[in-house]
Amino acid sequence: MTRGRIAWWGVAGLALASLLLGWAGCGDGGADASDTSPTPGAECARDPSNDSSEAVALALDSEVTGYLCPIEDVDWYRVDTGASAGLLRVRLAVDGELSPVEPSYAVYRIDGDGGPGEVVGAPPATLLGQALDEVHCVSPGSYLVAVRDDGDDAQDFRRPYRLTVSASPNPDTAEPNDDAAGATPLASGAAAHGAISCGGDEDWFAVDLAAGQLVRARLELDVAGFDPTVRLVDAAGELVGLRDNPSGRVSPTDIELALVPPGPGRYYVVVGDDDGRDADPEAEYTLTVTAAVDDDPNEPNHHPDVATPLATTADACGAAAGAWREEHGTIGAPGDNDWYRLPVTGCAPQGLLEAEVEYDVAGLDAAALAALRRDVQLAVTFVRAHRGSPCQVDSDCQALAKTCQNSWDCSGLFNACRPDGFCAGAAVCLPEGVCGANVIQRREMGGAVAGPGPETVRLSAPLFGDEVVYLRVADFQSDGAAPGVSYRVRARVRAEPDANEPSNVYAPELLESFPT
């Protein structure tokens, strides 16, 4: 009986507690059903700002609270930045950590009718669901701020959001310089200072380059809240080159973009964040752009269209080796590719091409020679015209019009079979209107194999009735340069002395390259 009475009172107590909780959760909203603030019951806290025409005036730097309730609720605010503001900072968060809403916002220009116009600021999609603290570049004036759940599919009547909007001058006095039209002129050797003040901010600087000039753009910056990038863009808006610091948030930035431009004219050096999302208005950078004389007399020759001719008339594949045809150049900057063109004739059924590239190291002391060997891995590539692959632009030539199942199906074409079943092209459309095909590449091996010194590379390759030969000279990985050291490139052709040729396949690998 005692146990029965205890069990009965236990059940009764639970029932009574449940009843009391039910009374507390219902009614006219006088009870506190919030775990973070005195929000009325299980009902939405209605507000008068559900339309842009009802936007609530929001004082700068003052916190306002509200609720995203019911579903599809949008709360509108109006802010005035003041006459000197260039940055608008928006901080938005929901109390607690268990809210079903993902608070978001948008900042609008006010159109001629007083309603929302162009969106000038919004948080990155990757940050939704988190506390937001974003800075946007704006012009002085009045703006509308709309707060909502990102998907308009959730509500929270228990946890309020907190919104604060601040305005401040843009520390970058060169603004606006966000495009070519507003680019800041920059003289060679002069230093410019600026800041990536908001997400999407880019700073453009205009530089004028004469024929035969190299350009170097150095960007220096302390640890910042973004990953700095500097790029060179031509007058048509095409990217010429880029350098970045993907560790800019944890290590200082000191990067240099050095390039041989395609030709004289106006170029733009652009500073920004690597993905355009992040910024740090308090981190000032220094940009120095220098134009220097290019010692390479043949620039521009960065593409087969402007290749330097090794001969003006066709060299014949005779029984004896022909005369050496030579030119001189420099690898003036990382990514510098020097193209040379040699017309040939009488090379069917088969002839031979011999080519070599050699640095002129006479006069270099031990330190300079060591620097050359450290900075540059000299390479030369033989590129032939693939007659079966017509083209109009370089992008047509990622693959050749030749199918393959394995690398041997691409014999004489760099033995490179792509995963899509086509032989790989050289990614250049030749002036002859057909794709270039890599045949063989030789690079300085740093003494790993017997042969010429590390300042010389040589190749020989068969000619199968070719009418023109292209040679490309560059640093092997295109990340080194020696602008003050000249190289000599030379080539010659002759008939194949083996009367039985062609009688085999051609492999562009030395035997030393295969493990024994």
Q: Are 501 and 349 in contact (CB under 8 A)?
A: yes
pLDDT average, residue stretch 423-444: 95
Of residues 277 and 184, the one with the higher pLDDT is 184
Euclidean distance between CA atoms 140 and 169, whole angstroms? 9
Cα angle 111, 113, 118 (rounded to 5 degrees) comes to: 20
In the structure, what pLDDT confidence band is assigned to residue 501 with cuts at 50, 70 and 90? confident
Residue-level pLDDT at 104: 94
The residue type found at 198 is C
- Give me 18's structure tokens: 């449940």
Of residues 44 and 79, the one with the higher pLDDT is 79
Task: Evaluate if residue 98 carries a pLDDT over 60.
Answer: yes
What's the count of helices (H) and strands (E) in the chain, helices before strands?
2, 30
pLDDT tens by residue, 115-140: 999 999 999 888 888 899 999 999 99
Q: What is the separation of C-alpha 427 from the centre of its chain, rounded to a whole number of angstroms?
A: 20
In the structure, what pLDDT confidence band is assigned to residue 27 with cuts at 50, 70 and 90? very low
Residue-level pLDDT at 446: 60
Domain ranges of the chain: 52-168, 184-293, 304-513
pLDDT tens by residue, 60-74: 999 999 999 999 999
Least confident piece of the model among 270-279, 404-413, 453-462: 453-462
Residue-level pLDDT at 455: 78
387: helix, coil or strand?
strand
Class of domain 304-513: mainly beta
Average pLDDT score over the chain: 86
Q: Are 107 and 88 in contact (CB under 8 A)?
A: yes
pLDDT tens by residue, 165-178: 999 999 988 888 99
Q: Are 167 and 82 in contact (CB under 8 A)?
A: yes
Q: Are 338 and 319 in contact (CB under 8 A)?
A: no
Residue-level pLDDT at 12: 45
Q: What is the separation of C-alpha 290 from the centre of its chain, rounded to a whole number of angstroms?
A: 22
Task: Evaluate if residue 314 carries a pLDDT over 70.
Answer: yes
User: CATH number for the 52-168 domain, one of 2.60.120.380, 3.90.1150.10, 3.10.20.30, 2.60.40.10?
Assistant: 2.60.120.380
User: CATH number for the 184-293 domain, one of 3.20.80.10, 3.40.50.12280, 3.40.120.10, 2.60.120.380?
Assistant: 2.60.120.380
Residue-level pLDDT at 110: 93
pLDDT average, residue stretch 419-427: 97
Intrachain domains 52-168 and 184-293 with the same fold? yes
Tell me the three-class secondary structure of 45-66, residue by residue: CCCCCCCHHHCEECCCCCEEEE
Task: Evaluate if residue 35 carries a pLDDT over 80.
Answer: no
pLDDT average, residue stretch 202-222: 94
pLDDT average, residue stretch 197-203: 92
